């Protein structure tokens, strides 16, 4: 009777299409919003994932997000280096400073100062020049996307974009672009400018604590969890793996920005629309077919058969709506995100989450409709 | 699944000898308190094997309620009612539905064909409900459609068939699983006189057999002549049972 159930569903074209459109819209809304949420969550820890030369990040225990200006004294670097199992450890400066472009445009930038000797903690990919060019006088490296965007001179219309060899001021200190890098899209929008640790200190106002992060590489064969414990115990600092540190940042952003609640509301709205549309339309479909279901029951179709038929109808509508919805969300998301403006990341969790949501929609719709089918007044088959 | 197989688990006892349907003192009411309506007031009715029995009477006299009780669609309040020795009151809901599916065929006033299924698929539905595979059921449906003169319309949707053709499809559907009792509710009321006669000739021709009984509820006096016996009902009771000629004689007096 499964095929009969499907023929009943597909045959009522208006209702079927309305049901599919409702479920597709619902699935699309859930999948798209969940993907954008995943994209933003992913972007929040992108810089940490891009900076993957070390095994551990050692930070001030009070730091909650990687841009938090809770720095350590540089003596902490020596203490970390002395912990058993540490192969090498380097310090990284990070701080927000104002840059002034040649045309007078003022732009806040995040200056990252890398260990002068090793240059550990640099960007993932160089587009022009090499990381070693940072050793040149006044050298900084900038992001390729920022050159056409936030580092674009915009006070005087028609000013050319900056490039390698151009100079600008950071906190009234002249610097020169010696290289261009590319990186993953980030949640934070301020341009990230790389330079050496010592040059970063000349750019930044003097402070007692200047080390933002200490990057640690474990000796071969070391258990990272044990090494973390040893560093924490020996220094009183907090050692995290890259994934842990990225999650620390992501969690902070999700909570502090309200992004979780905002996306949650939209996703919930998509779910409610799905439940209402599928519930009402499937119920309406069953209502219109009450006499047919009654005739089937009179002819010997038991409750199990009728229940299976309704579940098959709800399931088929759900599968089609889910497929179309996730497909449309995926294609439109990928097309739009190609421009780089949309934080869209459809990880495997998104289709699973959407599938469960649509499954619940269909179950609710089926249960509502089943009540009607199972309580059929059978004698209506004899009514004209 | 054959009819015989589906009956194996149903506890039946032999009914009165020679009777397909035996009703004695059957009562049925609807509603409660002031709105209580007594639809059947102690109905006595026997239908023999190989008999075509028509239930006639004015609207609201209890004809449809009586066939609903006989077919196990409604529960009676009191009295006895056995169909081929089986008493629905002794069967659970699921067993009753199964027994009804195997032993009773229905022809409805509005045909009740599934609009999105072809004629052959509609005819095949009772076999599929009984567990027959779709392919075999549809193949058998074409054979039965041939017996009602619609061999070439198997692929037509109900909307592509005339009223008479739809009723012939409904008759084929009622017969495909070879039920022992066929219950028809106003089978000719939606048809013109000529088509109604054609349908009745067909019903009498292909549905009647010695091990089978046919109950037809009708208002249509033009088809009374097809009955072996006619039961007249009024106000929830069977007031007379006789041959069409006897009924006509009573009316003449």
Could you tell me the residue ranges of all domains in chain B?
A: 3-7+18-252
Report the candidate in B72, B125, B79, B81 with the shortest Cα–Cα distance to residue B99: B72
The Cα of A32 is separated from the nearest Cα of chain B by a number of Å equal to 35
Count CB atoms within 10 A of the CB of residue A268.
Answer: 13
Q: What is the pLDDT of residue B6?
A: 40
Phi, psi values for residue B86, rounded to 5°: -95, 135
A296: contact with B, CB 8 A cutoff: yes
* Residue that wins the pLDDT comparison between B209 and B174: B174
Over residues B152-171, the pLDDT tens digits come to 999 999 999 988 889 889 98
Average pLDDT, chain B: 84
A221: contact with B, CB 8 A cutoff: no
Report the candidate in A305, A64, A217 with the shortest Cα–Cα distance to residue B1: A305
∠B229-B230-B233 over CA atoms, to 5°?
150
Query: Which has the minimum average pLDDT: A360-364, B66-70, B194-198?
Result: B194-198
Report the candidate in A302, A377, A292 with the shortest Cα–Cα distance to residue B65: A377
Over residues B38-61, the pLDDT tens digits come to 889 999 999 988 889 999 988 888
B176: contact with A, CB 8 A cutoff: no
> Which residue on chain B is closest to A378 by alpha carbon?
B73
Smallest Cβ distance to B129: which of A3, A12, A299? Answer: A299
Q: Which two tokens stand for residue A219?
A: 């000796």
Segment B125-138 shows an average pLDDT of 92
A380 secondary structure, DSSP code: G
Which residues from A are below 8 Å from B71, CB to CB?
298
Reply yes or no on whether the pLDDT at B11 is more than 50. Answer: no
ipTM: 0.82
CATH number of the domain located at residue range(s) B3-7+18-252 in this protein = 3.40.50.300
User: DSSP readout, B47-109?
Assistant: EETT-EEEEE-STTSSHHHHHHHHTTSS--SEEEEEETTB-GGGS-HHHHHHHHHHHEEEE-T
- Percentage of chain A modeled with pLDDT above 70: 99
Query: Which has the minimum average pLDDT: B22-26, B117-121, B214-218, B220-224?
Result: B220-224
Reply yes or no on whether the pLDDT at B13 is more than 80. Answer: no
Model-wide pTM > 0.80: no
Q: What is the pLDDT of residue A189?
A: 84
pLDDT tens-digit profile, chain A (384 residues)? 888 999 988 988 888 898 899 889 889 988 988 898 888 888 888 888 888 888 999 999 998 888 888 888 888 999 999 999 999 999 999 989 999 998 889 999 999 999 998 898 889 899 999 999 999 999 999 999 888 888 888 888 888 888 899 999 999 999 999 999 998 888 888 899 999 999 999 998 888 888 889 999 999 999 999 999 999 999 999 999 999 989 988 888 888 888 888 888 888 888 888 778 878 887 888 888 888 888 888 888 888 899 999 899 989 999 999 999 999 999 988 888 776 667 788 889 889 988 998 888 888 888 888 888 888 777 777 765
**Dist. CA A329–CA A29, nearest whole Å:** 8
Report the candidate in B105, B122, B124, B123 with the shortest Cα–Cα distance to residue B178: B105
Q: Do B129 and A381 touch (CB under 8 A)?
A: no
Over residues B98-123, the pLDDT tens digits come to 888 889 998 888 888 999 999 999 99
- Taking 3-state DSSP, the helix, strand and coil percentages for chain A, each rounded to the nearest 5, stand at 55, 20, 30
Reply yes or no on whether the pLDDT at B143 is more than 70. Answer: yes
Best to test chain B binding among A3, A300, A375 (most B CBs inside 10 Å): A300
Count CB atoms within 10 A of the CB of residue B4.
Answer: 8
Q: What is the pLDDT of residue B17?
A: 54
Q: What is the pLDDT of residue B1?
A: 39
Helix (H, G, I), strand (E, B) or coil at A337: helix
- Percentage of chain B modeled with pLDDT above 70: 91
Reply yes or no on whether the pLDDT at B80 is more than 80. Answer: yes
**Dist. CA B63–CA B57, nearest whole Å:** 7
Pairing of strands A238-241, A56-59: antiparallel
Helix (H, G, I), strand (E, B) or coil at B17: coil
Q: What is the pLDDT of residue B95?
A: 86
Q: What is the pLDDT of residue A99?
A: 93
Which residues from B are below 8 Å from A4, CB to CB?
114, 117, 121, 125, 128
**Which residues lie below 8 Å from residue B122, measured CB to CB, with a gap of 6+?**
B113, B114, B141, B158, B169, B173
Smallest Cβ distance to A300: which of B115, B126, B186? Answer: B126
Report the candidate in A317, A333, A327 with the shortest Cα–Cα distance to residue A5: A317
Q: What is the pLDDT of residue B96?
A: 85
Pairing of strands A125-128, A139-143: unpaired
Count CB atoms within 10 A of the CB of residue B14.
Answer: 9
Q: What is the pLDDT of residue A384?
A: 54
Q: Which two tokens stand for residue B128?
A: 């599929």
Pairing of strands A86-100, A106-114: antiparallel
* Range list of β-strands (E), B172-212: 181-185
Report the candidate in B94, B156, B165 with the shortest Cα–Cα distance to residue B119: B156
Report the candidate in A248, A228, A192, A210 with the shortest Cα–Cα distance to residue A58: A228
For chain A, give every domain's residue range: 2-44+258-382, 73-236
Confidence category of residue B16, pLDDT binned at 50, 70, 90: low
């Amino acid at each position: 009777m499964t095929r009969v159930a499907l023929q009943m569903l597909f045959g009522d074209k208006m209702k079927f299409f309305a049901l599919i459109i409702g479920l597709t819209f619902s699935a699309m809304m859930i999948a798209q919003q969940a993907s954008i949420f995943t994209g933003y969550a992913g972007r929040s820890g992108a810089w940490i994932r891009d900076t993957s030369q070390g095994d551990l990040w050692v930070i001030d225990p009070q730091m909650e997000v990687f841009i938090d200006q809770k720095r350590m004294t540089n003596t902490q670097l020596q203490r970390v280096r002395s912990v058993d199992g540490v192969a090498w450890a380097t310090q990284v400066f990070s701080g927000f400073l104002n840059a002034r472009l040649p045309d007078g445009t003022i732009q806040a930038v995040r200056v990252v100062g890398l260990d002068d000797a090793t240059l550990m903690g640099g960007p993932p990919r160089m587009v022009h020049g090499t990381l070693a060019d940072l050793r040149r006088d006044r050298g900084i490296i900038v992001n390729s996307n920022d050159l056409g965007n936030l580092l674009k001179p915009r006070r005087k219309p028609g000013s050319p974009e900056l490039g390698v060899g151009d100079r600008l001021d950071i906190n009234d200190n002249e610097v020169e672009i010696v290289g261009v890098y590319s990186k993953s899209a980030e949640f934070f929008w301020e341009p990230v400018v790389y330079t050496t640790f010592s040059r970063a200190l000349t750019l930044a106002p003097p402070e007692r604590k200047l080390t933002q992060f200490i990057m640690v590489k474990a000796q071969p064969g070391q258990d990272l969890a044990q090494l973390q414990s040893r560093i924490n115990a020996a220094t009183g600092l907090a050692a995290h793996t890259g994934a842990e540190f990225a999650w620390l940042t992501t969690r902070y952003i999700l909570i502090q920005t309200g992004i979780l609640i905002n996306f949650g509301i939209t996703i919930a709205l998509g779910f409610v629309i799905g439940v209402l549309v599928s519930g009402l339309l499937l119920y309406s479909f069953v209502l219109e077919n009450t006499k047919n279901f009654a005739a089937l029951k009179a002819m010997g179709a038991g409750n199990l058969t009728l229940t299976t038929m309704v579940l098959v109808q709800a399931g088929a509508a759900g599968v089609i709506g889910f497929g179309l919805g996730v497909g449309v969300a995926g294609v439109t998301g990928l097309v739009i995100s190609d421009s780089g403006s949309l934080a869209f990341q459809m990880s495997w969790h998104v289709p699973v989450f959407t599938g469960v949501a649509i499954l619940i929609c269909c179950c609710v719709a089926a249960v509502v409709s089943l009540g009607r089918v199972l309580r059929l007044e059978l004698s209506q088959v004899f009514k004209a | 699944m054959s009819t015989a197989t589906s009956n194996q688990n149903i506890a039946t006892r032999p009914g009165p000898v020679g009777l397909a349907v035996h009703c004695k003192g059957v009562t049925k009411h609807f509603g409660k308190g002031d709105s209580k309506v007594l639809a059947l007031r102690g109905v006595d009715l026997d239908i023999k094997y190989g008999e075509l029995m028509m239930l006639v009477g004015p609207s609201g006299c209890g004809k449809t309620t009586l066939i609903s009780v006989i077919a196990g669609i409604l529960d009676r309040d009191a009295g006895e009612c056995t169909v081929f020795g089986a008493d629905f009151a002794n069967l659970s809901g699921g067993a009753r539905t199964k027994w009804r599916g195997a032993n009773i065929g229905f022809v409805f006033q509005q045909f009740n064909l599934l609009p999105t299924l072809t004629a052959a698929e509609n005819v095949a539905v009772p076999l599929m409900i009984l567990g027959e595979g779709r392919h075999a059921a549809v193949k058998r449906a074409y054979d039965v459609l041939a017996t009602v003169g619609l061999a070439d319309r198997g692929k037509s949707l109900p909307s592509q068939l005339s009223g008479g053709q739809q009723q012939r499809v409904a008759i084929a559907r009622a017969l495909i699983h070879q039920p022992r009792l066929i219950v028809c509710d106003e089978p000719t009321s939606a048809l013109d006189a000529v088509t109604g006669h054609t349908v009745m000739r067909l019903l009498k021709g292909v549905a009647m057999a010695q091990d089978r009984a046919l109950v037809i509820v009708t208002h249509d006096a033009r088809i009374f002549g097809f009955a072996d016996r006619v039961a007249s009902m009024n106000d929830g009771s069977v007031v007379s049972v006789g041959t069409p000629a006897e009924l006509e004689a009573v009316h003449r007096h």
